Each structure stands twice: as structure tokens, then as C-alpha cells.
Amino acid sequence: GAGVSQTPSNKVTEKGKYVELRCDPISGHTALYWYRQSLGQGPEFLIYFQGTGAADDSGLPNDRFFAVRPEGSVSTLKIQRTERGDSAVYLCASSSSRGDTQYFGPGTRLTVL
Amino acid sequence: AQKITQTQPGMFVQEKEAVTLDCTYDTSDPSYGLFWYKQPSSGEMIFLIYQGSYDQQNATEGRYSLNFQKARKSANLVISASQLGDSAMYFCAMREGNAGNMLTFGGGTRLMVKP
């Protein structure tokens, strides 16, 4: 079946603008995760959803970052007042339940000018 | 302290030979899982292999095997019969049983397979 998909694949924005990044998990996967990967580093955890609720948002760096998953499937990561330091690849992953292997999407490369 | 340490920023291996990528971890949680992912230049993280802390045997998946040494807190990835398509970044990651569902990643190792 189809894997995790993310849109857009690339996003260029100006400092101070608002952006939305979308993740469509593997069909039937109840758990969804967002990670951020800066250049030359491993991914860092941002937030985890189990169903519609955010079960763990301890990785969100500040209140400019917010994520939703209103129907328990597609998730949107929202970043307000973007800063140049937000430039990174944002990875989404899903798993069939808590504790199972996480399968990743291709990522969204965000560039803040 | 780093939870996952990958000490080899870059590695070369000759095609058809075996290579070992190192990973050490740090946790006080008795229940944890260790994962290896491959990230080619396209950027997608591809799951390779998983080892649970209570698993008695080392995990194997095709040409991939995990050399799990619990007392030394190491979980090295062994790739046998390297292929040109194995050239990529490789990340070791850990999920701790009492720390939610997040994966903690190491800094990665870039593997380059020479023809």
C-alpha cells in the first residue's frame, strides 16, 4: 500500500510568515509523529499523536509551533512567525499503534529567507 | 549526555565486502528498542532493523544484522555483501519504554560503497 506522504516537498517562505506542512499517514495507522532534521544531524522529535489527540508535544520548541490531527488521519504542522532557524527538513512518521515501528515520509524541506 | 552515539561520521567499504556501523546508547530504562534507518540522498528514512532490549537473539533482516551487546550498550549494524545502492546516511535510534513513543536519533554515519 501507499506509504506516508508529505506536502509540499519544498517550501520557501520569508521570515515572519505562517506556514502549514501536511502529513498523510499510512492508512490505518493510529499513531503519527513529527520530527525535525537540521542539516547534518539526526531527526529530533517534535510531537506525537495517538488518534486525534496530541499524546506528547514535549519536543515542540516554542509556542510558534502547533500541530493538529482533527480526524485521526491527516496531520498539519503549523509554524507561525517563521524564523531563519526554523529552516530544516520536517519529517512525518506513522505506526500502527504505540510502540510499533515508525515509517517515515519523504519530508518537507522548509527554507526561511 | 548523548543518548545515542555514532562515532563514525563517514565510512568507506569496497563493494561486496561487509561493513559494521557503530552505535552505543545510554539509558537506565530496562525496556527499550533500538532501530536502524537508512537515509539515501532522496531524504526518506527507510526502516532497516529492530532489536528489543529483551530479545535473546540478535536481529537479522536479509543482508542486515544487528550485533547487540547489552552489557556494553552497543547495537552495531552489520551490512554483508555491500552494494553500490547501500551508499547513504545510516541512523541508529532508540525508543525508551518509559519515555513515551519518541525516537531519539544519533548523528548518523555516511556510508560510501566503492566499486
CB within 8 Å: B101 and A105: no
Pairing of strands B24-25, B4-5: antiparallel
Nearest to B43 among A35, A89, A95 (CB): A89
Over residues A70-80, the pLDDT tens digits come to 998 999 999 99
How far is A18 from chain B, CA to nearest CA, in Å? Answer: 24
Name the residue type at position A50. Q
How big is chain B by its Cα radius of gyration, in Å? Answer: 14
Contacts of B103 in chain A (CB under 8 A): 33, 35, 43, 45, 102
**Closest residue by Cα to residue A100 from B33, B21, B113:** B33
Hey, is the C-beta of B108 within 8 angstroms of any chain A C-beta?
yes
Q: What angle do CA B93, B98, B99 make, to 5 degrees?
A: 55
- Categorize the per-residue pLDDT at B101 as very low, low, confident or very high, splitting at 50, 70 and 90: confident
The average pLDDT across A46-54 equals 92
Percent with pLDDT over 70 in chain A: 97
- Chain A residue with minimal CA distance to B49? A101
Q: Does B107 touch chain A (CB under 8 A)?
A: yes
CA dist., res. A72 & res. A59, Å (int):
20
Report phi then psi at A54, rounded to 5. -80, 110
Tell me whether residues B47 and A101 touch, CB distance under 8 A: yes
pLDDT in tens, A54-72: 989 999 999 999 999 999 8
Identify the three-state secondary structure at position B56.
coil
